[in-house]
Homo-oligomer: A and B are copies of this chain.
Amino acid sequence: MRARVYVTLKPSVFDPQGRVVAEALHTLGYGDVRDVRQGKFFEVELEGDDRAAAEARVAEMAATLLANPVIESYRVEVL
């Protein structure tokens, strides 16, 4: 089984990485870029083939380790 966890900074949290990328894109001539936010994702390979179980398990991993609930939110997707 494979699952993905997408982790993003909460909307209210400042994203310096996105800021710098947006500015670089402006410099490169992409003036139509309004905003960039950067996130990360984890592709997790799991044993077993129970989708629902995998989803729950990966959500648990996200909550404990992969995302920092203080500043980040996450979304789990089973492939």
Contact = CB atoms under 8 A, between A and B. Distances in A.
A6 B4 CA distance: 12
B42 A37 contact: yes
A21 B42 contact: yes
Interface residues of A, number: 30
Interface of A: 6, 8, 18, 21, 24-25, 28, 30, 32-48, 57, 61, 64-66
A63 to B, nearest CB: 11
Contacts of A28: 61, 64-65
Given A35-B44, A36-B42, 4 more contacts: A6-B41, A21-B66, A30-B57, A32-B47
Nearest to A66: B21
